[in-house]
Amino acid sequence: MSDQIQRFMFDHTNVRGEIVTLAAAYHEVLDRHAYPPAVNELLGELLAAVALLTDTVKLDGTLSIEVRGRGVLSLLMAESNPGGELRAIARIAEDAALPSEHASFRELVGEGQIVITLDPREGHRYQGIVALDQETLGGCLEAYFSQSEQLPTRLWLAADEKRAGGLLLQRLPEESQNQDVDAWDRSVQLADTIKTEELLGLEQREVLHRLYHEETVRVFEPKALRFGCTCSRERMSYALHSLGKEELRDILHEQGAIDTQCHFCHTKYHYTAADIETLLDDPDAPPPTIH
């Protein structure tokens, strides 16, 4: 089963949808960390969700979802871009007891908020914030669309540490194109019958056929997805530069050099004292070379 997302729409209605399945990209994320099973499953749901939202908003840039909780999980973050690259990370609160294998979304995150950031290649950055006041991740994201986009949207998310999947339905505002006034309610009612094992174990077209074999569904070409990290030495250098001269020189005085790594992919970056001095003079400059 390929990692991909597929758009579809119901002809002569204003209802559209997307379905996503992830295996290899999901494994790439989990293999880099050692999270408890309940966290792994929630992280899979978030990966599926960020892929769905990126295609839904048609953003030419990066979209990230941050779940900032006050429970066992202090942070859950996933990021996606139009190239189909995904990455994600979780952070368990210090001194927190590890969650049970079947801990719920509410038990993991507690109170807090979800921050959705749209960072286009051109134009202004946008952030939307919604409270963690629903019982599921999907429910919180539905509330975001209702509040920020004013578009009726439903999400079904699932993950089992092997595969992650998601289904999204959305009713668009163009009522003039809708020739079936019951299409939205009917499509949602049918989607509510989907089982986790179907969403995770069946090919996407088979899922759509099982749900909507009596509807006229137009299915578009799928888009491939994969794990991909956007870290680089340049971005890490900017992050270090933001610490300021005094703090960087204090670290150098104690350690002699600075070693850091990306939290998402664990790529390591090494900075010598000469590297740091060059960075302080010009954060855009390449590392010094010895001739």
pLDDT, tens only, 173-189: 877 777 888 999 999 99
Both tokens assigned to 268: 């390591």
Separation of alpha carbons 259 and 269, rounded Å: 6
pLDDT on residue 289:
42
For residue 83, pLDDT over 90 is answered with: no
Closest CA to 89 of 129, 29, 145: 29
Q: Which CATH architecture has domain 4-227?
A: 3-Layer(bab) Sandwich (3.55)
Cβ–Cβ under 8 Å, residues 164 and 200: yes
- The band of 1, judged by pLDDT with boundaries at 50, 70 and 90, is low
Beta bridge pairs of residue 112? 69
Q: Domain ranges in the chain?
A: 4-227, 233-281
Separation of alpha carbons 142 and 140, rounded Å: 5
Look-up of token digits 């300021």: 244
Return the DSSP state at 148.
I
Cβ–Cβ under 8 Å, residues 155 and 52: yes
pLDDT, mean over the chain: 87
pLDDT on residue 82:
81
For residue 48, pLDDT over 90 is answered with: yes
For residue 288, pLDDT over 50 is answered with: no
pLDDT on residue 56:
84
Separation of alpha carbons 163 and 199, rounded Å: 9
Cβ–Cβ under 8 Å, residues 257 and 272: yes
CATH topology of domain 233-281: CBS domain Like (3.90.1280)
